[in-house]
Structure 1
Amino acid sequence: MERYVAQIQDHNLRTVWENEERGFTRWLAENIDLLGSELGIELEDARTEEAVGDFSSDIVAREMNTGETVVIENQYGNTDHDHLGKLLTYSSGKNAGFTIWLAENFRPEHRSVLEWLNESGPKDVKFFAIKPRVLSIEGSDERGFEFEIVVEPNDWEREIVDDSLTETEHSYREFFAEMVDTYSARRPTWNKLKPGPRNYLTFSAGTSGVSFGWVFHQTPGFSVELYIQTSDPDRNLAIFEALKEESDKIESNLDAELIWQRLPEKAACRIKWAKPIERRITELSMDQRAQLIEWGAETMDEFQEDLEPRIRSLDVS
C-alpha cells in the first residue's frame, strides 16, 4: 500500500495578521527575541514607527552585545524598489549596524542588491533578507511560524577580519565560542549566540535592559553577572534594591557571596559572582581555560535559575 505523507503548506501573513503595521509589525516588536534567536544575536528595546527625518522605520532595536542599532523593514508580498529605498534611508539615518528586510518574497534583483552590499558596501553594516513564513500541515488548521534567512553577510561576522584582531581579541572570541557550546549543552533551548572579540558576552534576563553576562575584568578576574541598565536610572535602582532585599536568600540558595554594586557613574547596577584568576586570558593554559569555562557554565546555570524568576515577578513600574 502506498504511504501518504502530509505536505507542509505556506500561508500569507495576512491570514494571521490582517494589517502589516498594526498586526505583524507590533507582534514582531513584542517578540523580537524570536528574530534574534534565529540570527544568533540578542535584540532588545524594539520600538515601532521610529522617526527617521520625515519618515518612520517599522522597527528600530538594539543589539545587546555590541550596542549597535538594528533597523527592520517589513513588507507583505513581493519586494519592491520603494521598500528598498526606505530600508537604505532608515539604515543610513540611524547609522545601523544591522539592516534587516523582512518580506514574503524577494525579487532576484533585490537579493542581488543585499548580497552586493554585504560584499562591497560599508564594512560596519550587516544586511539580511529574511522571509517570515506561516506554516501548517496539510489538513490541519493549526499554524506555525518560522524565519527563513534568504541573504546574510559573508561568513556572518564580516566586520571581524582575523588579520585585524589582536591576540587578546582572538582569545576572547575563542573562549566565548567554547562557552556558548558548553552552556548550550546544559540548556538546549538557550539562544546560541555568536561571540565577538570582546571581553564579555551577555544575553537577556527576560526584561528589556536587564542582562546576564560572562565578563573578564582587568584585575585580572572573571565573573558571572546580572547587569541592570534600562533607559530609566530610577527603575534600574528599583530593580536592584528589590533584588538586594532578597540577598540573604539568594546567596544562601547559591551558597555564594555576591558583590552588589550601584554604578551611579553609569546610571546602572550590577550583581556579580566573581572568580579571581591569576592570569589574563592570553596567558591561560588550555587546562585553566577549560576549568574556567566549566565554572562559568555551571555558575551561570545556577545564577540564572535563581534570579530569572525573581526578575520576571518584580513589579517596579
Structure 2
Amino acid sequence: MSPLGRLERIPALRTIWADEARDFTPWLARAENLAVLSEALGLGPDGLEIEATEVTLPGGGYHADILCRDTGSPESDRVLIENQFGKSDHDHLGKLLTYASGLQARTVVLIGEGIRPEHRAALDWLNSITSEDHHFFACELELWRIGDSLPAPRFNLVVEPNDWARGVNAKGKELEIGALSDTRQLQLAFWEGFEAHLGKVQQRIRPVRAVAQNWIVHGLGKSGCNLNAVVGFKGNWLRAEVYLTGPNATAHFQQLAAQRSAIEADFGQPLTWDDTAAKDRRISASRSFTDVTDQATWPAQHQWLADTLGALHRTFHARVKALQSQNQRPELP
C-alpha cells in the first residue's frame, strides 16, 4: 500500500499573504481563484466575473475590496466581496453593507479567517427579511497542505440565503395578492419541470429558480452573455439561445458572427443570427411542437431544450469567455 500524507492546516493567512490589500485581494481577484470562491457559493465555476478591485466610493477615503458580476443573473448583478484577516469585526461588516448600498450590489460576500456568531446572525437576518434577488454570504477561509505541498485554499460557507424559506414566503405573498393567472401557472409549472430535469442531465449549466414567464435565464460565464430558454405557448414552439445584452452586445455579436462558419460546424446545424433589435442580440435554435401545453409531452420538450442548451454551452462557452469587452471602471450610482 502506498504511504498517505496527512492534511495540515496553516494556522494564519499572513504566513502566505503578508498584507490583505496588497497580497490577498489581488490573489483572490484572479479568475482561477474567483472560480474556487464561486463554486463554494454555489454559483458554479463561471459564476463570478471580475469588474474591479479597490473601487473608490464617492466621498473619498473608502475603497471596496472586490467588485464582480454574477454571470448567472439576468442583469449580471453586482457582487461585492469584502475580505479581512483574523475574525470578522463590526468595522468590516459595516463597510460591506455601506459599500453594497453605494454600489447597488445585490450579492455581498464577507470573507474572514473566522466569522463571529453575531455577524452570522446579522447576515442570516438580512437574508430572511430581504427579497429573493438579494443575497448575503459569509465564508471562512482556511489554508491546508500535505507535507511540503503548495498551500490549498478552502472556503467554508457559513452563511447563505435560505432559498427554501424564501420560496415559502414568496408563495404566501402570492396567495395574499391573488393567485397567478392560468397562463402564469402554466409557465411556472413548465419551468419547474424543466429546471428539475436540467439539474439531472446537464452538469455545466446551473439550474435556477423557476419563474412565471415565457423565458428563463442561465449564465454562460460572462456578464451580458446568457443562455436563455423560451417557450411559445400560442405558437407551439421552443427556442434555445445565446442572448447578448448590455453595452457590449453589438460588439460581442460581431465578434461571434466573424466565427459563424466554425460555430455552426461545431454546433452541428445552422443557427438563427438576429441583430434586428435596438440593443440586444440573439443566436438561437428553435423547434415546433404539436402542442407545447400538453403536459404529457413535456418530458420530450424539456429534453430537447436541455440538449440544445447543452450544445450551445459546449459551442459558445470558450468563445464567449474570450470576447473582448470595453475596459472601463465601474460606473458608480
Gaps of 5+ in 2: 175-179, 327-333
Tell me the secondary structure at the aligned position of residue 108 of structure 2: strand
In structure 2, which of residues 254, 268, 273 is the aligned counterpart of residue 241 of structure 1? 254
1:196 positional shift: 4.1
Amino acid at match of 1:65: S
Match of 1:177 in 2: 196
Q: Equivalent pairs: percent with the same residue?
A: 29
Is residue 72 from structure 1 mapped to residue 81 from structure 2 by the alignment?
yes
Root-mean-square deviation (CA, aligned residues, Å) is 3.1
Is residue 260 from structure 1 mapped to residue 282 from structure 2 by the alignment?
no
In structure 1, which of residues 159, 162, 177 is the aligned counterpart of residue 171 of structure 2? 162
Q: Distance between the aligned counterparts of 1:247 and 1:134, measured in 2?
A: 45
Match of 1:272 in 2: 284
Match of 2:145 in 1: 136
Is the 1:40–1:193 contact (alpha carbons within 8 Å) kept by the matching residues of 2?
A: no
- Say which structure is richer in strand: 1
Task: Please give the per-residue CA displacement for 1:109-142, whole angstroms capped at 9, x wherever unaligned.
Answer: 22222222223x33353221111222212x2332
In structure 2, which of residues 232, 235, 241 is the aligned counterpart of residue 225 of structure 1? 241
Amino acid at match of 2:244: I
In structure 2, which of residues 306, 310, 330 is the aligned counterpart of residue 297 of structure 1? 306
Tell me the secondary structure at the aligned position of residue 129 of structure 1: strand
Match of 1:59 in 2: 66
Is the 1:73–1:87 contact (alpha carbons within 8 Å) kept by the matching residues of 2?
A: yes
- Bigger shift: residues 87-96 or 69-78: 87-96
Gaps of 5+ in 1: 185-189
Is the 1:177–1:194 contact (alpha carbons within 8 Å) kept by the matching residues of 2?
A: no
Tell me the secondary structure at the aligned position of residue 257 of structure 1: coil
Match of 2:220 in 1: 204
Match of 1:285 in 2: 295
Is the 1:222–1:274 contact (alpha carbons within 8 Å) kept by the matching residues of 2?
A: yes
**Change in 2 beyond 3 A, CA 1:152/1:315:** closer
Match of 1:187 in 2: none
Is residue 83 from structure 1 mapped to residue 92 from structure 2 by the alignment?
yes
1:80 positional shift: 0.8
- Bigger shift: residues 19-28 or 214-223: 214-223
Question: What TM-score do the two structures reach when normalised by structure 1?
Answer: 0.80
**Change in 2 beyond 3 A, CA 1:77/1:241:** same
Tell me the secondary structure at the aligned position of residue 215 of structure 1: strand
Is the 2:69–2:223 contact (alpha carbons within 8 Å) kept by the matching residues of 1?
A: no
Amino acid at match of 1:100: V
Match of 2:329 in 1: none
- Bigger shift: residues 67-76 or 22-31: 22-31
Q: Distance between the aligned counterparts of 2:120 and 2:193, measured in 1?
A: 32
Task: Please give the per-residue CA displacement for 1:233-282, whole angstroms capped at 9, x wherever unaligned.
Answer: xxx4343233323323433443322110115522x3221112234545xx
Question: What TM-score do the two structures reach when normalised by structure 2?
Answer: 0.76
Amino acid at match of 1:96: A
Is residue 49 from structure 1 mapped to residue 67 from structure 2 by the alignment?
no
Number of corresponding residues: 300
**Change in 2 beyond 3 A, CA 1:277/1:45:** farther
**Change in 2 beyond 3 A, CA 1:278/1:48:** farther
Q: Distance between the aligned counterparts of 1:85 and 1:294, measured in 2?
A: 46
Amino acid at match of 1:113: A
Task: Please give the per-residue CA displacement for 1:38-62, whole angstroms capped at 9, x wherever unaligned.
Answer: 2233333532223443233222333
Q: Distance between the aligned counterparts of 2:112 and 2:106, measured in 1?
A: 20
Q: Distance between the aligned counterparts of 2:201 and 2:103, measured in 1?
A: 36
Tell me the secondary structure at the aligned position of residue 303 of structure 1: helix
Is the 2:86–2:112 contact (alpha carbons within 8 Å) kept by the matching residues of 1?
A: yes
Tell me the secondary structure at the aligned position of residue 162 of structure 2: coil
Amino acid at match of 2:285: W
Is the 2:227–2:242 contact (alpha carbons within 8 Å) kept by the matching residues of 1?
A: yes
Tell me the secondary structure at the aligned position of residue 265 of structure 1: coil
